[in-house]
Structure 1
Amino acid sequence: MFLLTFIFLASLSVCLVWEIVIVYLRWHFNYWRKRGVCGPQPYLLVGTFPKASAGQCNLLEELNEIYLDFLYSRYRVSQKFVGIFIARTPKLFICDPKLALEILTQHFKSFHDNESSEWTNANVEQLRPCSPFVSTGEEWKARRSELVPALTINKIRSFYSAMRDSAQKAIEFLTAMGEQPQDAKELANRFTAQFMCNFIWGIEGNAFNVPQKASATSLSPVHCMARDIILQSLQCVRYYGSTAAWPWLRKLQPVRFFPVAADRFFQQLLADALNARAKQQTAEAGGGRGDVIDHLQQLREKKSLNAIQIAGHTTTVLIDGYETGAMLIAHCLLLLARNPRVQRKLREELLAADVADSFDALNELPYLEQCLQETLRLFPPLPTLFKLCTESVTLKNFDDSTLTVHPGDGVYISTYSFHRDAEYFENPDDFWPERFAEEMGGVRKYREMGVFMPFGDGPRMCPGMKLGLSEAKVAVSELISNFKVSAGVETRTDNKIANDSFLLTLDGKIELLFHRRQ
């Protein structure tokens, strides 16, 4: 009898606990319904993203399905915004590009923080909290104002010869490797690592050491550390996805976006660079070389920056230039390899121009610009913008109904969806650079419509945009001038994105063949 009573009470307790868990998981599911906002039906643990949660697709693709369903009247009335759920957490998804542009510009004071600021724990991180991308409020303004002057077009112009030298090393590397297939992403990362070492610290990158064996790799220390940061960040994004239903776990077990080894490495690299520069300036008269370290040294006393803040700024510039620039280069080479007509047309423009000593001449090449912008349309570096409401604001829907967004509400904007919308871009899956020709309105037309924002928009637009574009122009122009590029057999022929990529990239390896032109 006692045993039966115990079993009954235990079973009752389990059922009660399970009911409490179910109530907890469903607690917010009427959040948007009570506020008059429609949206897809959420499910336990996975919210409105069952396929992405199961690893069947990228969250961007499922978000795009919601975008198409609700903007184009599958649900009777088109919606400027819909309610979605990340596990049990409500988010407002913006489907109207004009409203998205308003949020990023006119309503910026109500959305000046990024959701990623909540993902960074200053108790376990040292360098990442210094980034203007994750800083909040007034601190964001201070961090951005410290960094932006180091990334102006004039600063980048002064390093044009260094960029071309890095591209020449890439050409020599490919020549030494022969015509065996190359991983375009790794090649692009070698180029950006090589240049960023010069641009930030004024050191030799050694990123193009030729491996002794065809199957071996030989990466420089900076390249290895930058790669490890990207890999660690991907693991963090996965962790935040897996704990979406239990966000309190993140406080119990916080994770780092930057590995401990990377923090130590870049702090030591900064110290070594500053010491070497101090000795050189003592031995030689003259000014600095105008790199990022020079700029940060000048700020050190004016704004009382400490060594961690300076090192944090160097890693912010590094990741912008290393990863964003490399992704643009690799995807552009991929699209050119698939499209011989476009590749030939671009090569004709490059060979007819004299850009050897002129950064401005390179920037005036229209078809090169169009090729890169079309690449950014298909593979935007910021495919989704995750904003946090910081000040209440009222948004109006197509039917003139209104919604007041409150501080703490998360707002999602899918640039990926805008960029691939056939309403704005004819045959959106096709690589057609001519759509960005000036006679057709150019980039400005699409930006003013709010349908083209590969680096975001408004005051918090990516500060590394000009740097990434400049790197890509130099790398692509030099490689296409010297090689015919074709896709390898292992490279997919469509633009399917990787299921687990948070910095949008093609699913699978980008394997390309580089045939030296005579």
Structure 2
Amino acid sequence: MFLVTFILLACLVISLVAAFVLIYLRWHFNYWRKRGVCGPQPQLLVGTFPKSSVGRCNPLEELHEIYLRYRVSQRFVGIFTARTPKLFICDPQLASQILTQNFKSFHDNESSQWTNASVEQLRLCSPFVSTGEDWKARRSELVPALTINKIRSFYSAMRDSAQKASEFLTAVGEQPQDAKELANRFTAQFMSNFIWGIEGNAFNVPYKAQSATSLSPVHRMARDIILQSLQCVRYYGRTTAWPWLRKIRPVRFFPVAADRFFQQLLTDALNARAQQKTAGGGGGRGDVIDHLQQLMDKKSLNAVQIAGHTTTVLIDGYETGAMLIAHCLLLLARNPRAQRKLREELLAADVTDSFDALNELPYLEQCLQETLRLFPPLPTLFKLCTEPISLKNFDESTLTLQPGDAVYISTYSFHRDAEFFENPNDFWPERFAEELGGVRKYREMGVFMPFGDGPRMCPGMKLGLSEAKVAVSELIRNFHVSASENTRTDNKIGKDSFLLTLDGNIELVFQRSE
């Protein structure tokens, strides 16, 4: 009798727990319907992302399917990440308004909720994850170090890094190279100089696939930050339905070793400059450390905040720049006509000592902008509502958002919409020619924003573009580039890439031109 009673009680408890869990998981599923907002029907645990939740595709691809389904009839639709409601913007003009005119109602990024102060140090100093007034302060501290004049003053260092890449390719011969790895060597080489004034040594070690010993210290630590960040994004994806787990087990975006390394690197750089000053050395180099050292005196910033700024600049220049370079080389390798046209432009120009002359090359600019269209560094913008605001749909119905509501904008979808870009999957740089309206035409339409838009546009945009122009111009001038048989021929994106990249390696062959 006791055993039967125990079994019945156990079954009752299990049923109650199961019912509670089911109610918990479905609790918000009527959230958008009650507000008169349409959208795809969510499913348990996976929300409106059933395929990407089980690793069949990138979430961007499912978001793009939703965009194509609703973009004509709806300015915005309701979606769900697991059980959490999000508002997905389908109208580029509304997206532009959210990022610019209505910025005060959306001035925070959702990624600010992904960083835990109990485990992170340096990442909290990034303007990308800072909020409110703190964001304004962090951005104002960083932007002066990334002006076009600052970048121009390091043009010779940038060219020297590109020449080292060229020498490296000549030394290894015509064996296929991982273009992303090559690009990261270049950006690690230059960023070491630009930030800390040190020799990068990124091309002084032989490349061995998956081997940390083949990387210079700055390169290795920057790579480890990217890999750790990818693991964090996966963790946040797995815990979407159970966000309270993140408080129980917070995770770091930056490895502990990387925090220690960059704090020590800052200390060493500041000590070296103090000794130089004591010995009667000349003025500063004008690099990022010089700028941040002045901030320490003016704004009483501590060493952690300064080191955090160095990692923000590093990741912008290291990863964003490298991805643009690698994808541009890939697209040129697949399109011999465009590659020949660009090489002719480069051979006819003298940009050896002129940063401005390089920036005046129209076809180089068009090639890079077309690369950014197909592989934007910020493919999705995750914004948080910070002040109540009402949005109108096409049918004049109104939705009022409250602080804390999340809004998603897919630049990837705008960039690949045939209504705005003819044959959107094709690489056609001429679509950005000035005589056709150039970049400005698409920006004014709200359909081209590879670095975001408005006050929180990526501060490293000019730096990444400049690095790419120097690297691509050096390599295309001196090498004929082709894709190996191991590189895919379409633009399918990686399933788990949070920074948009091609699925699989970008393996290219560099043949020295005559």
Alpha-carbon distance in 2 for matches of 1:161, 1:460: 30
1:37 counterpart = 2:37: yes
Partner residue of 1:373? 369
Q: Are the equivalent residues in 1 in contact too, given 2:208–2:214 (CA < 8 A)?
A: no
Return 5+ residue gaps in structure 2 as ranges.
none
One-letter amino acid of the structure 1 residue matched with residue 492 of structure 2 = K
One-letter amino acid of the structure 2 residue matched with residue 340 of structure 1 = P
> Alpha carbons of 1:215 and 1:389: their partners in 2 closer, same or farther (altered >3 Å)?
closer
Q: Are the equivalent residues in 1 in contact too, given 2:146–2:460 (CA < 8 A)?
A: yes
Q: SS in structure 2 opposite 1:46?
A: coil
- Select which of 131, 151, 158 maps to 1:156: 151
Q: Are the equivalent residues in 1 in contact too, given 2:205–2:215 (CA < 8 A)?
A: no
- Select which of 181, 190, 194 maps to 1:195: 190
Q: SS in structure 2 opposite 1:515?
A: strand
Q: SS in structure 2 opposite 1:312?
A: helix
Alpha-carbon distance in 2 for matches of 1:465, 1:213: 30
- Select which of 173, 180, 185 maps to 1:185: 180
Give per-residue Cα distances to partners, 1:135-194, cap 9 Å, x unaligned: 000000000000000000000000000000000100111111111000000000000000
Give per-residue Cα distances to partners, 1:101-138, cap 9 Å, x unaligned: 00000000000000000000111101000000000000
Partner residue of 1:75? none
1:418 counterpart = 2:414: yes
Question: Which range moved further: 277-286 or 445-454?
Answer: 277-286
Q: SS in structure 1 opposite 2:511?
A: strand
Question: Which range moved further: 254-263 or 208-217?
Answer: 208-217
RMSD over aligned CA atoms reads 1.0
1:260 counterpart = 2:256: yes
Alpha-carbon distance in 2 for matches of 1:161, 1:481: 17
Partner residue of 2:89? 94
- Select which of 477, 480, 485 maps to 1:481: 477
Partner residue of 2:8? 8
Percent of aligned positions that are identical: 86
1:332 counterpart = 2:328: yes
Q: SS in structure 2 opposite 1:430?
A: coil
Structure 1 residue 466, shift from structure 2 partner: 0.0
Report how many aligned residue pairs link the two structures: 513
> Alpha carbons of 1:20 and 1:212: their partners in 2 closer, same or farther (altered >3 Å)?
closer
Partner residue of 2:27? 27
Structure 1 residue 260, shift from structure 2 partner: 0.2
Alpha-carbon distance in 2 for matches of 1:211, 1:69: 49
One-letter amino acid of the structure 2 residue matched with residue 515 of structure 1 = Q
Alpha-carbon distance in 2 for matches of 1:283, 1:345: 52
Q: SS in structure 2 opposite 1:31?
A: coil
One-letter amino acid of the structure 2 residue matched with residue 62 of structure 1 = E
Give runs of aligned pairs for residues 164-243 of structure 1, distance below 5 A: 164-211=159-206, 218-243=214-239
One-letter amino acid of the structure 1 residue matched with residue 74 of structure 2 = Q
Structure 1 residue 214, shift from structure 2 partner: 9.5
Q: TM-score, normalised by structure 2?
A: 0.99
Partner residue of 2:405? 409
Give per-residue Cα distances to partners, 1:399-428, cap 9 Å, x unaligned: 111100110000000000000000000000
Alpha-carbon distance in 2 for matches of 1:15, 1:407: 36
Question: Which range moved further: 508-517 or 209-218?
Answer: 209-218
Alpha-carbon distance in 2 for matches of 1:133, 1:241: 19
One-letter amino acid of the structure 1 residue matched with residue 114 of structure 2 = W
Partner residue of 1:116? 111
Alpha-carbon distance in 1 for matches of 2:301, 2:10: 59
Structure 1 residue 285, shift from structure 2 partner: 3.9
Return 5+ residue gaps in structure 1 as ranges.
73-77
Q: Are the equivalent residues in 2 in contact too, given 1:498–1:506 (CA < 8 A)?
A: yes
- Select which of 117, 121, 129 maps to 1:126: 121
Q: Are the equivalent residues in 2 in contact too, given 1:374–1:433 (CA < 8 A)?
A: yes
1:48 counterpart = 2:72: no
1:427 counterpart = 2:423: yes
One-letter amino acid of the structure 1 residue matched with residue 134 of structure 2 = E
Alpha-carbon distance in 2 for matches of 1:487, 1:175: 17
- Select which of 239, 246, 254 maps to 2:242: 246
Runs of 4+ in 1 over 3 A off after TM superposition: 212-217
Q: Are the equivalent residues in 2 in contact too, given 1:97–1:450 (CA < 8 A)?
A: yes
Alpha-carbon distance in 1 for matches of 2:209, 2:469: 28
Q: SS in structure 1 opposite 2:183?
A: helix
Alpha-carbon distance in 2 for matches of 1:320, 1:213: 25
Q: Are the equivalent residues in 2 in contact too, given 1:176–1:210 (CA < 8 A)?
A: no
- Select which of 313, 320, 331 maps to 2:316: 320
Give per-residue Cα distances to partners, 1:239-272, cap 9 Å, x unaligned: 0000000000000000000000000000000000
Give runs of aligned pairs for residues 337-356 of structure 1, distance below 5 A: 337-356=333-352
Alpha-carbon distance in 1 for matches of 2:199, 2:22: 57
Alpha-carbon distance in 1 for matches of 2:54, 2:285: 51
Q: Are the equivalent residues in 2 in contact too, given 1:48–1:86 (CA < 8 A)?
A: yes
Partner residue of 2:433? 437
Q: TM-score, normalised by structure 1?
A: 0.98
Alpha-carbon distance in 2 for matches of 1:103, 1:137: 16
Structure 1 residue 302, shift from structure 2 partner: 0.8
Alpha-carbon distance in 2 for matches of 1:236, 1:215: 20
Structure 1 residue 281, shift from structure 2 partner: 1.8
Partner residue of 2:505? 509
Partner residue of 1:67? 67
Partner residue of 1:287? 283
